[in-house]
Structure 1
Amino acid sequence: MNAPRLFLVVLVALGLAGVRSFAAADVPKGRVLEKVACVADPNQTYALYIPTTFDPARPMPLLLCFDPGARGKAPVERFQAAAEKFGWLVAGSNNSRNGPWEANAAAIQAMVKDLTAHLPIDSKRVYAAGLSGGARVACQLGMSGMLQGVISCSAAFAGSETPRKVPFLFFGTAGVTDFNYRELARVDRELEERRAVHRVVIFDGGHEWLPAPLALEALAWFELQAMRSGTRPKDPTWTAEQFGARRTAVPAEPVIERHRALRSLAADFKGLADTAALESEVATLGASREFKDALKAERSLERTEQSTIEDLLTAVNEGYVGSVRKRVTDLQMKAKGTGPERAMAVRVLQGVGSTCGEMAREALRANDYDAAAAVLEMVVLVRPERPQGHFDLARVRAQLGDRKAAMTALQQAVAVGFRDAARVKDEKAFDKLRSDPAFQALVGGMK
């Protein structure tokens, strides 16, 4: 199902949402339900949180969540406290994942139909949240026009290109060591240029769902925007509290972060609070030499990061193992340091590792095991701490009949933390290794 068709189906379902004929006592409130099966298609399931303030006579905001690994429970738990505080329904698909749009469309359609069949949803306040590829799914839904807003974690728009017009509220997040950090920073600038209503927050973390405290900020921001648009009654006392909390949290330095925080604060509360002093300070800071020098340094670091990624990927594609090893060693040393260079080194290593992983998956889909093995050798050079790369290399080496290399890779996977004995047992590629005493000892140790 393409995006426009899905939009129509979901819009019809949301238009039918309303008061349902069950008692509030029948609803499992205040706890995360890990697996709710869709009545029309039990193969489609989702995690769900219904706040304790649930009232079947009152339509509620809905947040749809999309995890790249189809882990619906993970985002629902992140948003649980925020949903309880603001009275939101939160649902996370257990079927939507990184992959073809058609499969995601089917998961979205089934989940929305099931939710609207049983719960009172405010069709004017439907939002989505996604991580990585799930963020691109959420943004694609938003571009279709069915969402009021999107919480976009560690990625943004399809093709990594910001549209000229964004018809929804955009709340983006990225960890400072997230390999998609630069994408979110760029989206922030581009949405600012387009005068789109948005907020982008960088937190101390990596490529992951936003932390629960930031999830609270995200829903509070949507509540604020709902007051601005009239889809929720204004609450001057609450608005003043939010304004005060945000104002207190503005960092004194570095100057570039202070400027961004003040600019965002002024934009969010304009018309709801007195922002004249904020706007004046934003203008003063933006004209200062300190700010201009900091901005220049930031852009320079971004260019360095991009060229480092390109050089490393070129070495990977050309199969220059020695060059890759040398560059990775240098980056690993920087990653042990502090400051912007440390964060940049971590992002480069993770980003190149992720790109190589996707190259390996493409080779495996084409049953090109030689190409997959070559790329996976690079993966474990770039990200030696990740068990999955070693495990995948072991599978490919086993497929190619290199039992010794397969055992070495599998042993390395276990050494860095691989513990899924059932997965090793079920992997057919390892059938020829099962009589090997070393293999038996390895699996036995995992159990």
Structure 2
Amino acid sequence: MKKKYTLLFFTVFLLQYAAFSQQIRLKKGTILEALPVQDSIPDTFSLYLPTTFSTDKKWPLLLIFDLEGREKQALSMFVQAAEKEGYVLAAPKISDTTSISSNMVKTSEVIHSINRMLPIHKERVYTAGASTGARFANLVPIFLKDVKGTVSIGASVANTDVLSVKRPFHFIGIVDENNYNYTQMLAVEKILDRFRFPNQVLIYESDRVWPDASYLKKAMQLFTLSAMAKKYIPTDSSYIDKAFKEDIIKVNQLKGSIKLLLAEQYMGEMMSIYGAHKNLDSLRLVQRDVRRNKLFRSMKRAENAIRLKEALLKEDYQYYIEEDVLSHNFNNLGWWNYQMTEINKFINGTNEHEKKMGNRLLGYVNALAEDNIDIVNSETLIDEDALALLYMLKTILQPQNFDFYLKLISLSAKNEDFGTALFYLEEALKKGFKDTDRLYGLEHTALLRIKPEFNKLVSEYLKDARYEIIEE
């Protein structure tokens, strides 16, 4: 006999083994942290059960990834959507300091643990993440056959070379037009179409990493509509009609705001998801009328021109950063400074297409620099000249990010290049750096800190030199 739970608390059995059985009490509507995967394994995960949860039906599971130790915060972003759409949420505790294979094993163990603990629908297990978490989330359905789809926020498919037509999964990309992955996300959508992977890309307008909760709800809704189309769950006509009306309202809002490119793109995504459920002839007519609109055509030409320009600039950035790092070409920092000036002109200009392109280019070149820093630091023998050049480049790209000034000061002092260390110290101080404790605690700067030039700069800008300045 099935038993319905109306209390806030209920008990289930977790991980039945021959050696032991452990009883655990779970609470609905609350994020539960540090749940054990197995008694013999120290790995843990966080879990959220919607307030409507009961054991008399099977539930979809969304695994959320954050590789920087913020899995609870990442999971909390999906809580509102999970309540509305009826999803169980889980966030495995993994790290970017661990290998992909090790993290994949941990993810598999969490899935199996939750399947033993809760009534999860085996055909409705999905992943999600933002930025680095999204790149890992994209890989999970490639390597774990139990996972049927992914929600990728701000990151494209990690590696299209490992995609297989024999193991398709549902890809839902969510990306801001200002994100440097925006154009790549649209390009990958075409690759997924060729592989016949079900996919949609949802575009939002904001400079935040996380989109509005409505986009996360829409992603879960798309998974549910797909599950109905595949007959994994019964077709719910009222659910489909409600979702379709919401999307029509969104299209009309975009059209009313003269955002015709976004309206046309959104209708294309609607075609891919509702084709199995409804006759879309009327929607096709609306999309055709938008495409014939003179303003739309003008916008499309402008966007295509911007994308071509952006692609060429990205090629230049990639080529020159590789050449500069390889040849230790410090002389080219002037060129990079000029490029930063040009990017800022785009960002601060009046052309909306160029403003968004400028933001994407800035994000792209920063990502290039940081990727190269990671590559250099991963070598057994670190090329400190290449590292110094990259730190200098980062001070140009992010002049208010004092981390790279301090790293450069420390590295220069280590190699007794006190002139460079003092130059970047003054640059940081000019731009508003004030953390004397952090400055005096820098590694490799003991000799630098007792120099009169160092203390003169600190006294001039911070009035807090710790050593007496003696003029000889």
Q: Above 0.5 in TM-score?
A: yes
1:383 to 2:398 alignment: yes
Which residue does the alignment assign to 1:230? 231
Structure 1 residue 153: Cα displacement? 1.6
Which residue does the alignment assign to 2:150? 150
User: How far, CA to CA, are the matches of 2:82 and 2:446 in structure 1?
Assistant: 48
Structure 1 residue 260: Cα displacement? 1.4
Amino acid at match of 2:94: N
SS at match of 2:38: coil
Which residue does the alignment assign to 2:31? 32
User: How far, CA to CA, are the matches of 1:211 and 1:47 in structure 2?
Assistant: 22
| 1:99 to 1:357, Cα distance in 2 relative to 1, 3 A | farther
Structure 1 residue 27: Cα displacement? 0.7
Structure 1 residue 184: Cα displacement? 0.8
Q: Which moved more, 1:322-331 or 1:304-313?
A: 304-313
1:65 to 2:80 alignment: no
Which residue does the alignment assign to 1:171? 172
Q: Give the structure-2-normalised TM-score.
A: 0.78
User: How far, CA to CA, are the matches of 1:76 and 1:335 in structure 2?
Assistant: 33
Per-residue deviation, residues 223-278 of structure 1 (Å, max 9, x unmatched): 22122222222222222121111101112133332221222223322243342200
| 1:234 to 1:431, Cα distance in 2 relative to 1, 3 A | farther
Amino acid at match of 1:46: F
- Asked if structure 1 preserves the Cα contact closer than 8 Å seen for 2:104 and 2:140, the reply is no
1:325 to 2:337 alignment: yes
Which residue does the alignment assign to 1:159? 159
Amino acid at match of 1:306: A
1:122 to 2:108 alignment: no
Gaps of 5+ in 1: 1-18
| 1:40 to 1:188, Cα distance in 2 relative to 1, 3 A | same
| 1:418 to 1:152, Cα distance in 2 relative to 1, 3 A | farther
Structure 1 residue 289: Cα displacement? 6.0
Which residue does the alignment assign to 1:353? 366
- Asked if structure 1 preserves the Cα contact closer than 8 Å seen for 2:122 and 2:146, the reply is no
- Asked if structure 1 preserves the Cα contact closer than 8 Å seen for 2:82 and 2:89, the reply is yes
User: How far, CA to CA, are the matches of 2:337 and 2:70 in structure 1?
Assistant: 34
Which residue does the alignment assign to 1:281? 286
SS at match of 1:170: strand
User: How far, CA to CA, are the matches of 1:159 and 1:43 in structure 2?
Assistant: 30
- Asked if structure 2 preserves the Cα contact closer than 8 Å seen for 1:178 and 1:205, the reply is no
User: How far, CA to CA, are the matches of 2:13 and 2:64 in structure 1?
Assistant: 26
SS at match of 2:180: coil
Amino acid at match of 1:108: T
SS at match of 1:21: strand
Q: Which moved more, 1:240-249 or 1:397-406?
A: 397-406
User: How far, CA to CA, are the matches of 1:53 and 1:414 in structure 2?
Assistant: 55
Structure 1 residue 211: Cα displacement? 3.2
User: How far, CA to CA, are the matches of 1:82 and 1:403 in structure 2?
Assistant: 54
- Asked if structure 2 preserves the Cα contact closer than 8 Å seen for 1:37 and 1:45, the reply is yes
Structure 1 residue 191: Cα displacement? 3.3
Per-residue deviation, residues 101-127 of structure 1 (Å, max 9, x unmatched): 223224323433443343332211100
SS at match of 2:232: coil
- Asked if structure 1 preserves the Cα contact closer than 8 Å seen for 2:72 and 2:91, the reply is yes
- Asked if structure 1 preserves the Cα contact closer than 8 Å seen for 2:405 and 2:424, the reply is yes
- Asked if structure 2 preserves the Cα contact closer than 8 Å seen for 1:44 and 1:107, the reply is yes
| 1:363 to 1:340, Cα distance in 2 relative to 1, 3 A | same
Which residue does the alignment assign to 1:334? 346
User: How far, CA to CA, are the matches of 1:414 and 1:232 in structure 2?
Assistant: 62
Structure 1 residue 142: Cα displacement? 1.6
Per-residue deviation, residues 325-382 of structure 1 (Å, max 9, x unmatched): 1111121132123411011111111111111111112222222222101111011111
Structure 1 residue 216: Cα displacement? 1.2
Which residue does the alignment assign to 2:3? none
Which residue does the alignment assign to 1:107? 106
| 1:384 to 1:236, Cα distance in 2 relative to 1, 3 A | same
What is the number of equivalent residue pairs in this alignment? Answer: 426
User: How far, CA to CA, are the matches of 2:409 and 2:42 in structure 1?
Assistant: 32
- Asked if structure 1 preserves the Cα contact closer than 8 Å seen for 2:142 and 2:162, the reply is no
Structure 1 residue 286: Cα displacement? 4.2
Structure 1 residue 295: Cα displacement? 3.5
1:300 to 2:305 alignment: yes
User: How far, CA to CA, are the matches of 1:125 and 1:278 in structure 2?
Assistant: 29
Which residue does the alignment assign to 1:247? 248
- Look at both structures and tell me which one has the larger radius of gyration over its CA atoms: 2
Q: Identity of aligned pairs, percent?
A: 24
Q: Which moved more, 1:63-72 or 1:121-130?
A: 63-72
- Asked if structure 1 preserves the Cα contact closer than 8 Å seen for 2:12 and 2:25, the reply is no
Amino acid at match of 1:308: L
Which residue does the alignment assign to 2:220? 219
Structure 1 residue 65: Cα displacement? 1.6
Amino acid at match of 2:32: L
Amino acid at match of 1:258: A
Structure 1 residue 128: Cα displacement? 0.4
Structure 1 residue 43: Cα displacement? 4.3
- Asked if structure 2 preserves the Cα contact closer than 8 Å seen for 1:388 and 1:418, the reply is no
| 1:260 to 1:77, Cα distance in 2 relative to 1, 3 A | same
SS at match of 2:147: coil
Superposed CA RMSD in Å reads 3.6
User: How far, CA to CA, are the matches of 1:25 and 1:114 in structure 2?
Assistant: 13
Which residue does the alignment assign to 1:343? 356
Structure 1 residue 287: Cα displacement? 5.7
Per-residue deviation, residues 32-65 of structure 1 (Å, max 9, x unmatched): 2344343346643333222222224433211112
Considering fraction of residues, name the structure with more helix.
1
User: How far, CA to CA, are the matches of 2:367 and 2:431 in structure 1?
Assistant: 18
